[in-house]
């Protein structure tokens, strides 16, 4: 167990929750706050002794709320039908104890595969933290037993589906609480065991629930909060990854940076947009590719045996070329050709890039705004009381018990559900613009002079990165079809006692699943952008190397449409080729921004450049692992 995180009900952060969930941190309970917890439990016991009607304590639960519990059972001889015969000790207790026991055992009815251990660890921490507020009626000893499940690695088995998000996560939290009773199932040190056996191996004893403890344990928003918090943590890092992928793609395109200037975004200062633009400026810092003059960028040409005359150049996996714009075609464009040389290579003569490049701040920024709104909601919920009824033992001027034990609706998950709906809609947007950038890289009509599908294809046998875009497209479609908000469709429960529910647990579960596929789309863009970037850098630096030798004749041979030596404009062509040679020779080495270079180097440590077709499955596996581990992000 790593260092324990202190819980007092009021100061749990998302970062701490993620640490508990993912890195094995234990929890330590504030002893002063435990005194308040016990004070509320004692107050509740006093009210029960006085015979006060209290929902879920001395009355039934849900649709049974209008039924008062009696002093004894109506029929003692009825069997429970439990084939294991484990319920006699519970039936030996009072009806009030039996109610709390039943509230847990009969509500543990989820289905599906077990939630990930990290989700359940987060749920345990959330439940302990909210109960530490001291408004739920649970005894300090029971709360400490719940905390010990986490600290001793007893992780309840909770099937993933079964909560409607009001009254909170009743069914999954019952699976969590049932292990405290010695029932259900739990993982202990990775082994799946019956709940009683897991407790025994961990040195823990089953708990017998007292007044309201069943309700306190299973009434709240812990599953949706845990799943959503972990999803938001992942999305925050994937937004940084999306910016990095976009920056690498921009460098590979030798794109334009003016759309990211600070003064531009000051005119439309949405916070996420401003942050994204600033991050792109940092990521592209030191780049000699972005904003490069059009005429310096050659276009790809298929390698031929006679493509390069100098032995120093024959190892290249490409040929390069430009088109010459003769003086007769410059009429009316004289000002342009005073600034730019008359050579058309890979870059189109246009001052703006496609939307998927130019609008990165607006799109990534809008997703950031959705994330920030959800983070605000979740930060409130992390330290909120979410069960029912709420107990105020020290209420001033309380005249009746209803002034101190108040039935409210804090279990309703709609604040979380709507926040998750917003994020759920944002995820396909981020994936979609990433796929559009990837598609632009592999399409020779749009990739500004790079090879079709980013492969040399000298023998016409290579597909290159064509199918990478197919997979990204499939993922984007899948994400889009899963983006329908669950929160808009309430299905009433409990004989209409719970006639409006949030479905926030489905929403959060969907989002947690969707961020994984978002990561895959971004990984595919990075995989493709690295190939494109290497081509772009190598093509430019090959031209620079020829120019550095002063070999203007070799560069002239790469220019299509050059006038013949006896043509009247040939002398002007020679002067202009020499000027192009000088401009390339005087340029510093062409390279991406420093942050992009660092990420590119990490990719190349695991995945080599693809000169000819090869099996790509392991490449894809490796790039997905790099993204999932956030290994490419700047420190």
What mean pLDDT do residues 492-515 have?
88
Report pTM: 0.93
User: pLDDT value at position 395?
Assistant: 87
User: pLDDT value at position 78?
Assistant: 57
Model confidence at 173, in pLDDT bands (50, 70, 90)?
very high
Residue 262 has pLDDT above 80, yes or no: yes
Active-site entry in 55, 324, 527, 590: 55
C-alpha pair distances (Å), 154 with each of 102, 120, 126, 174, 468: 22, 10, 16, 15, 42
- The Cα 165–Cα 418 span in angstroms is 12
Active-site entry in 330, 336, 349, 355: 355
Instruction: Give the tens place of pLDDT for each residue, 370-406.
Output: 999 999 999 999 999 999 899 999 987 888 888 898 9
Is 268 noted as a catalytic residue in this protein?
A: no
- CATH 3.40.50.300 correct for 2-75+86-220: no
Q: Where are the alpha helices (DSSP H) in 407-503?
A: 414-442, 466-481
Strand partners, 405: 391
Residue 88 has pLDDT above 60, yes or no: no
User: pLDDT value at position 83?
Assistant: 58
Residue 484 has pLDDT above 80, yes or no: yes
Q: Around Cβ 521, how many Cβ atoms within 10 Å?
A: 30
CATH topology of domain 232-372+419-494+501-628: Fumarase C; Chain A, domain 2 (1.20.200)
- The Cα 106–Cα 100 span in angstroms is 10
> What is the DSSP annotation of 231-249?
HHHHHHHHHHHHHHHHHHH
Neighbouring residues of 200: CB distance < 8 A, sequence distance ≥ 6: none
What mean pLDDT do residues 43-59 have?
84
- Region(s) of the chain under CATH 1.10.275.10: 2-75+86-220
Is 219 noted as a catalytic residue in this protein?
A: yes
Is 527 noted as a catalytic residue in this protein?
A: no
User: pLDDT value at position 402?
Assistant: 86
- The Cα 421–Cα 418 span in angstroms is 5
From the list 381, 391, 320, 362, the residue with the least C-alpha distance to 537 is: 320
Is 337 noted as a catalytic residue in this protein?
A: no
Residue 292 has pLDDT above 80, yes or no: yes
User: pLDDT value at position 67?
Assistant: 76
Residue 106 has pLDDT above 90, yes or no: yes
User: pLDDT value at position 92?
Assistant: 58
User: pLDDT value at position 60?
Assistant: 74
Active-site entry in 300, 411, 527, 600: 411
User: pLDDT value at position 631?
Assistant: 97
The backbone torsions φ and ψ at residue 155, rounded to the nearest 5 degrees and listed phi first, read: -110, 105
Q: 281-286 long-range contacts, Cβ below 8 Å, gap at least 24? A: 281/257, 282/595, 283/243, 283/244, 283/247, 283/593, 283/595, 283/596, 283/634, 284/247, 284/250, 284/251, 284/257, 284/260, 284/593, 284/595, 284/596, 285/593, 285/594, 285/595, 286/591, 286/593, 286/594
Active-site entry in 213, 435, 498, 507: 498
CA 186 to chain centre: 28
CA dihedral over 159, 160, 163, 165, signed as positive or negative: positive
User: pLDDT value at position 492?
Assistant: 82
The backbone torsions φ and ψ at residue 52, rounded to the nearest 5 degrees and listed phi first, read: -70, 140
User: pLDDT value at position 493?
Assistant: 80
How, if at all, do strands 319-324 and 343-344 pair?
antiparallel
Instruction: Give the tens place of pLDDT for each residue, 428-477.
Output: 999 999 999 999 999 999 999 999 999 999 999 999 999 999 999 999 99
User: pLDDT value at position 166?
Assistant: 85
Active-site entry in 102, 219, 279, 506: 219
- The Cα 220–Cα 170 span in angstroms is 7
User: pLDDT value at position 41?
Assistant: 96
Instruction: Give the tens place of pLDDT for each residue, 535-573.
Output: 999 999 999 999 999 999 999 999 999 999 999 999 999
What mean pLDDT do residues 356-361 have?
97
Mean pLDDT across the chain: 93
User: pLDDT value at position 82?
Assistant: 63
Residue 87 has pLDDT above 90, yes or no: no
Secondary structure letter of residue 59 according to DSSP: B
User: pLDDT value at position 167?
Assistant: 79
User: pLDDT value at position 80?
Assistant: 61
Instruction: Give the tens place of pLDDT for each residue, 25-35.
Output: 999 999 999 99
- Region(s) of the chain under CATH 1.20.200.10: 232-372+419-494+501-628
Is 55 noted as a catalytic residue in this protein?
A: yes
Token pair recorded at residue 308: 């390069």
Active-site entry in 25, 107, 437, 544: 107
């Amino acid at each position: 167990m790593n260092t324990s995180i202190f819980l007092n009900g009021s100061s749990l952060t998302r970062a701490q929750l993620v640490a508990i969930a993912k890195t094995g941190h234990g929890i330590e309970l504030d002893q002063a706050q435990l005194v308040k917890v016990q004070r509320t439990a004692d107050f509740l016991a006093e009210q029960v002794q006085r015979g006060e009607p209290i929902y879920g304590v001395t009355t039934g639960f849900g649709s049974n709320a209008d039924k008062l519990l009696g002093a004894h059972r109506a029929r003692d001889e009825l069997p429970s039908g439990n084939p294991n015969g484990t319920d006699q000790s519970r039936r030996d207790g009072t009806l009030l104890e039996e109610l709390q026991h039943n509230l847990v055992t009969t509500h543990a009815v989820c289905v599906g595969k077990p939630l990930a251990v990290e989700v359940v660890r987060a749920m345990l921490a959330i439940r302990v933290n909210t109960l530490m507020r001291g408004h739920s009626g649970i005894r300090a000893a029971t709360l400490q037993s719940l905390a010990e499940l986490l600290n001793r690695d007893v992780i309840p088995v909770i099937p993933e589906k079964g909560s409607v998000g009001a009254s909170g996560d009743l069914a999954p939290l019952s699976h969590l609480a049932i292990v405290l009773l010695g029932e259900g199932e739990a993982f202990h040190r990775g082994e799946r065991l019956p709940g009683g056996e897991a407790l025994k191996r961990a040195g823990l004893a089953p708990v017998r629930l007292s007044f309201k403890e069943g309700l306190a344990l299973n009434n709240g928003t812990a599953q949706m909060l845990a799943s959503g918090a972990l999803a938001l943590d992942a999305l925050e890092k994937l937004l940084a990854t999306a910016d990095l992928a976009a920056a690498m793609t921009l460098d590979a395109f030798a794109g334009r940076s003016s759309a990211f200037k600070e003064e531009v975004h000051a005119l439309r200062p949405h916070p996420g947009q401003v942050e994204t633009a600033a991050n792109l400026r940092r990521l592209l810092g030191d780049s000699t590719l972005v904003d490069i003059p059009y005429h310096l960028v050659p276009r790809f040409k298929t390698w031929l045996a006679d493509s390069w005359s100098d032995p120093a150049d024959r190892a290249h996996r490409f040929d390069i070329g430009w088109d010459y714009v003769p003086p007769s075609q410059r009429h009316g464009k004289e000002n342009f050709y005073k600034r730019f040389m008359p050579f058309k290579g890979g870059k189109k003569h246009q001052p703006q890039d496609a939307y998927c490049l130019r609008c990165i701040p607006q799109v990534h920024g809008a997703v950031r705004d959705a994330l920030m709104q959800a983070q605000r909601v979740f930060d409130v919920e992390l330290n909120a009381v979410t069960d029912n009824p709420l107990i105020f033992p020290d209420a001033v001027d309380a005249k009746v018990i209803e002034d101190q034990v108040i039935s409210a609706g804090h279990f309703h998950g709609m604040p979380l559900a709507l926040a998750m709906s917003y994020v759920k809609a944002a995820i396909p947007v981020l994936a979609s613009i990433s796929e559009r950038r990837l598609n632009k890289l592999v399409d020779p009509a749009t990739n500004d002079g790079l090879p079709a599908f980013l492969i040399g294809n000298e023998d016409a046998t290579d597909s290159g990165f064509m199918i990478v875009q197919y997979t990204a497209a499939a993922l984007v479609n899948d994400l889009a079809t899963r983006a329908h908000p669950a929160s808009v469709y309430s299905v009433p429960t409990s004989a209409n006692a719970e006639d409006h529910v949030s479905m926030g647990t489905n929403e959060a579960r969907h989002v947690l699943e969707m961020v994984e596929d978002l990561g895959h789309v971004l990984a595919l863009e990075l995989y493709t952008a690295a190939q494109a970037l290497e081509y772009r850098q190598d093509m430019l630096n090959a031209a620079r190397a020829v120019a550095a030798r002063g070999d203007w004749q070799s560069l002239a041979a790469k220019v299509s449409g050059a006038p013949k030596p006896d043509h009247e404009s040939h002398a002007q062509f020679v002067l202009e080729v020499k000027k192009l040679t000088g401009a390339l020779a005087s340029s510093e080495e062409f390279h991406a921004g420093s942050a992009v270079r660092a990420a590119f180097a990490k990719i190349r440590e695991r995945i080599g450049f693809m000169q000819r077709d090869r099996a790509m499955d392991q490449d894809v596996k490796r790039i997905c692992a790099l993204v999932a581990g956030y290994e490419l992000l700047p420190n």
